[in-house]
Structure 1
Amino acid sequence: MCGIVAWYSQSTGPELVETGREMLSRIVHRGPDDSGQTLVGERTWLGHNRLSIVGLEDGAQPLEGPRGWAMVCNGEIYNDAQLRESLSGFRFGTGSDNESALALLALHGPRALDRLQGMWALCAATPDGRFIAARDRLGIKPLYWAKVGDTHLFASEMRAFSLDVQHAVAAFPPGCWWTPEDGLVRFAEAVTPAEVRADAVEQRTRDVLVDSIRRHLMADVEVGVFLSGGLDSSIVAAVAADEYARRGARLKTFSVGTTGSPDLAAAREAAEFLGTEHHEAVFDAAQAIDALEDVIASVESYDAGLIRSAVPNWFLAELAARHVKAVLTGEGADELFAGYGYYHEQHPAPGELRRELERTVGLLHGLNLQRCDRVTMAHGLEARVPFLDTAVVTHAMSLPDEVKLLGEDGIEKSHLRRAFTGWLPDSVLWRRKLEFGTGSGAQDLLTPYWERQVSDDDLAVARADTDTQVRSKEELAYYRAFRRALPEIRPHSVLTRFALA
């Protein structure tokens, strides 16, 4: 995992090399282990800050390949071993999983990128002026870009861009690649459903998840699990703990909350049942308020729901980073298996639920995945999301709506719970859904605080500003902190701004 920066220009100058170096320095937190850069021909510069997870000894970037190709990549390629077997015409020089992405580009061009299974964003170039930028189908790993004159700038975070460029920054769209010749081209959709047989559906759901979780443990370092005590993270912990036991090792799990919060209690119960080495971070109101500026600057958002969950995530990542360099999380399960109450309240008609799930899966890159990536990488920690593996997404989105409806007792994700019967204590397996900001206790600290601190008049003035679009006093407070961190970013322009070719 890492942070990447690149630029491509039709008319380069020496000052652009310094621009790249300055951008790279602003995201050094994403890769504290190493840093590398290279000028590729006259039109491209590539920079990389590295967090070493796979290929510890020989995985430094930029990576070099045949025909002058050079590449920087942020992410993990989980089918690296299979790709290496199939790409017999490429001489691999490192143990880095990212090199399989470079091999695909060098041998088959950007149209082969749909063969990559994992989370990634990359920029690559050759000395003769070829250049490509691309991002995984779900946008699990971040990438932003800006066009200034005849120069395109790319970076893992918005904060990398200087103030005079921030007005032009946009999110690079997931599932797309860009070249100067072809423009922006989509190579993969977020959701590609397949047919699922009606028999043994729960067994197949369990099998596909177990396989994904085990593959996401691929690393040359120890991997832990964020364990909230909710269904999704507990399933991940259960499978990971079983895999670590097979290796003769003990899984490390991490939970967070205020004193007496329900998440802490449930996580302890799950950890004891699974026999993990469990660690806790406990925070109070003063600590939560003190951390807000750093959290908002890191997450690069002011959405109140996102920040309420990002605050406990901040303390959780800080704790985990003292013990491991990578963690698995339960992100994406609610969007795949209809875990949120509004899915069932607002989309009860046949077909409606599927369409809404597809919509929200497609938006994850600008919401929960953004929070997950930024908060962990702020502490030099890699977060992996096994529920969002391509095979899991394809399976889950192929299930009929009926499988995802509320159970007779009104509880959500009954299908997923039944699939993992026996893997967890029933009190955890059938624990009702609580938003992370609620279960950790963060909402009870933050929302009342800002209700007292922000006046009704301030909120009325902010709501009259069509560029601000805040929904509450709490969100107004977060918007002000967002503005201090990124004064020139247009908050609602960091969705895709460039048309697809």
Structure 2
Amino acid sequence: MCGLVAMLTSGATAGDYTDAMSSALPCMRHRGPDAAGTWHDDDALFGFNRLAIIDLEHSHQPLRWGPEDNPERYALVFNGEIYNFIELREELQAAGLTFHTEGDSETIVVGFHHWGAEVVQHLRGMFAFAIWDTETRSMFVARDQFGIKPLFYATTEAGTVFASEKKSILEMADAIGLDLSLDRRAIEHYVDLQYTPEPETLHSAIRRVESGCTVTLSPGGEVVSERYFTPNFQVTSVPKGGEQELFDRIAAALEDSVAKHMRADVTVGSFLSGGIDSSAIATLAKRHNPNLLTFTTGFEREGYSEVDVAAETAEAIGVEHIVKIVSPEEYAAAVPKIIWYLDDPVADPSLVPLYFVAETARKHVKVVLSGEGADELFGGYTIYKEPLSLAPFDKVPSALLKGLNTLSRVLPEGMKGKSLLERGTQPMESRYYGNARNFNFEQLQRVIPWAKPEWDHREVTAPIYAESARLGMDPVARMQHLDLFTWMRGDILVKADKINMANSLELRVPFLDKEVFEVAQTIPADLKIANNTTKYALRKALEQIVPPHVLHRKKLGFPVPMRHWLAGDELFGWAQEQINASQTDDIFNKAAVLEMLDEHRAGVSDHSRRLWTVIAFMIWHGIFIEKRIDPQVEQRDYPVQL
């Protein structure tokens, strides 16, 4: 888990940009405080910040490797972890290839020499990397299957720059002649969805390499992207009486994944929220570390914490448990710093408690495991039960459906049955947009009057739905497919990477493992949402693993009392100050935003998530565009090993 910068020049000498590189690396030192390194030849320039996890004394980057006849043919920078590196090393050594370190990084470049671009199909882990081939004068870039590790890029007349964080590219903007204008289409997508969907960023000239994609380029050439992984939830069924075999396969795959994810030369801990996902990971992790430490966070307000349940789970599985309680004052004070770390805002209030629990964990461990990805792979969101609840509408004639849909729109807000009628009379592509949308178009135009209907969420979701239809997925699988490409990439994995790396803490996610996915993709819909529950097959697989009290708990996550705080003295005045001070009048109708805040306080409507979306952007704008807000980030150094 580190931070990389890779530049391929176009008509200039790479050495001319070493000063720019010296500015790009320090701003993400939090990603790798243990060591830094640079390397360049005439065309390529690499920079690296290292968080040492495996092979602490060696495996420094940029890493050089080559065959006997050209021992420094390749240069590599790599962010992430390859969990099957031991098995790959043995396979490559059997093919006659040599290694000079004990780390996982070298496996990538040796594998690239042996398999070429197909190396990504062999890697089991999280990764973003760039390899420069000094013989072919070409660069190969790749990002992991699910998008766990980030990778931004920008192309100008000077060349193309890749980086783990957007702010590193911004630091090089003057040197490479980068246009820093904002992307209004991406802004509308952000306000609509609470995150900026891949491959966009809020800057027009900076984009992201998408999850499951590779990039090839040569000096002065175009960036050519190719998708190597498309998650495909297969249309399948389980023979009657064969369910237990499936449950056993799930348990075995997850146990193997956790075992591989525990590979490290430093201390590994685990987050523990009290839900089934993190409880399963922590329970399995303890088998490999009897002294496992677990961590959770919460709030003093009743109903907004899993602290008690997490503590009960920790006691049941026999681990030492550490808790961090976050106050409203701490919450507000940390927001600018957290948004700076994010690069682009993500309007998820749970980012803040996650920051504090990561900060707490980093005082004790260098790596933590977490349960991200279980909901998307195993059918964990309550909304996934909707295809069953709406099934009766499938039998209604289309003409009658159209009439019922018209009726639903004129029924009063809050009337019983209105929502069911609205959703049941629309096709999935119209009614399901993922987990995050909180503005309808009328509300969107209220706060950004320039919003265009052709830029709404459907521009993001339509191609994904088309792909799931082409692959013949069932309705539940289509929702999962959409979430893998939207909510998970835009929210879940952004905060997993950025917020933990802000604290120089490596987060590992055993559910998002390609071997686990190979089993998860075969689960039929009726075993995902059976018995009026979610993740049914996963729950059955974990019956002999997790404590009984968490098996059928309602999903809670990291709830934040934002609705109460914005309406009360905790954050109402703070929110007013942020809105009034923001220099975003060309983007937002600030009078309308202030009206929404007053309506929220008066209890007219719950605008908390909508307000938080706008305020998070305003703070981002104050930091990166206006330069008005000082995020007060301190770059901290840690010892190599705890």
User: What's the TM-score once normalised by structure 1's chain length?
Assistant: 0.88
- The answer for the alignment partner of 2:209 in structure 1 is 172
Taking only the aligned residue pairs, the percentage that are identical comes to: 32
Residue pair 1:230, 1:434 contacting (<8 A) in 2 also: yes
Indicate whether 1:329 and 2:356 are aligned: no
Distance 1:297 1:62, change over 3 A: same
2-side partners of 1:16 and 1:446: how far apart? 46
Instruction: Assess, with a 3 A threshold, how the Cα gap between structure 1 residues 445 and 390 changes in structure 2: closer, same or farther.
Output: farther
Counterpart AA for 1:286: E
How has the CA–CA distance of structure 1 residues 149 and 346 changed in structure 2, closer, same or farther, with 3 Å as cutoff?
Answer: farther
Structure 1 residue 63: Cα displacement = 1.1
Counterpart of 2:307 (choices 264, 268, 283) is: 264
Query: Unmatched 5+ residue regions in structure 1?
Result: 490-501
User: What is the rounded CA distance, in whole Å, between the counterparts of 2:210 and 2:250 in structure 1?
Assistant: 29
Cα 1:446–1:156, aligned 2, differ >3 Å: closer, same or farther?
farther
Answer with 1 or 2: which has the greater Rg: 2
Distance 1:177 1:34 in 2: 27
Question: Is residue 311 of structure 1 aligned with residue 352 of structure 2?
Answer: yes
Find the aligned partners of 1:243 and 1:464 in 2 and give their Cα distance.
55
1:281 and 2:324 are equivalent in the alignment: yes
Are the structure 2 counterparts of residues 117 and 47 from structure 1 closer, same or farther at C-alpha, using a change threshold of 3 Å? Answer: same
Aligned twin of 1:60: 60
Given that 1:196 and 1:395 are in contact with CA atoms closer than 8 Å, whether structure 2 keeps it comes out as no
After superposition, the Cα gap between the structure-2 partners of 1:223 and 1:301, relative to the gap in structure 1 and judged at 3 Å, is same
Task: Select the residue among 621, 624, 628 that pairs with 1:483.
Answer: 621
Question: Per the alignment, in what secondary structure is the counterpart of residue 210 of structure 1?
Answer: helix
**Rounded Cα–Cα distance in structure 2 between residues aligned with 1:209 and 1:392:** 6
1:380 maps to amino acid: S
1:381 partner amino acid: L
Partner secondary structure for residue 511 of structure 2: helix
Q: Does 1:11 align with 2:11?
A: yes
Report the Cα offset of residue 106 of structure 1: 2.0
Q: Normalising by structure 2, what TM-score?
A: 0.69
The Cα offsets for residues 405-430 of structure 1, whole Å up to 9 and x where unpaired, read as 152xx432232222211433322222
Which of 480, 485, 499 is matched with 1:357 structurally?
Answer: 480
Match of 1:87 among 92, 98, 109: 92
* Root mean square deviation, CA, Å: 2.7
2:112 aligned residue: 105
SS across alignment from 1:27: helix
Alignment check: 8 A CA contact 1:191 1:394 kept: no
Aligned counterpart in structure 2 of residue 189 of structure 1, from 214, 220, 229: 229
| SS of residue paired to 1:427 | helix
d(CA) in 2 for partners of 1:29 and 1:460?
33
Matching residue's letter, 1:320: A
Q: Which moved more, 1:286-295 or 1:108-117?
A: 108-117
Q: Distance in 2 between matches of 1:412 and 1:192?
A: 20
1:371 aligns with 2:376: no
| Aligned with residue 361 of structure 2, among 320, 344, 357 | 320
Alpha-carbon distance change, 447 to 224 in structure 1, aligned in 2, over 3 angstroms: farther
Instruction: Tell me which moved more, 279-288 or 429-438.
Output: 429-438
SS of equivalent residue, structure 1 residue 434: coil
Instruction: Structure 2: give runs of 5+ residues left out of the alignment.
Output: 181-202, 392-472, 594-606, 628-642
Contact 2:328–2:571, Cα closer than 8 Å, also in 1: no
Match in the other structure for 1:425:
547
Q: Which runs of 4+ in 1 moved over 6 A?
A: 457-461
Contact 1:411 1:432 in 2 (8 A): no
Q: CA deviation at 1:303?
A: 3.4
Distance 1:86 1:382, change over 3 A: same
Residue 394 (structure 1) aligns with: 518
CA distance in 1, matches of 2:287, 2:237: 27
C-alpha contact (below 8 Å) 1:314/1:376 kept by paired residues: yes
Letter in 2 for 1:368: I
Q: Distance in 2 between matches of 1:28 and 1:355?
A: 39
SS of the equivalent of 2:282 reads: helix
> Partner of 2:193 in structure 1?
none
State the partner residue of 2:277: 232
Q: 2: distance between equivalents of 1:290 and 1:235? A: 33
In the alignment, the residues of structure 2 paired with residue 36 and residue 429 of structure 1 have an alpha-carbon distance, to the nearest angstrom, of 47
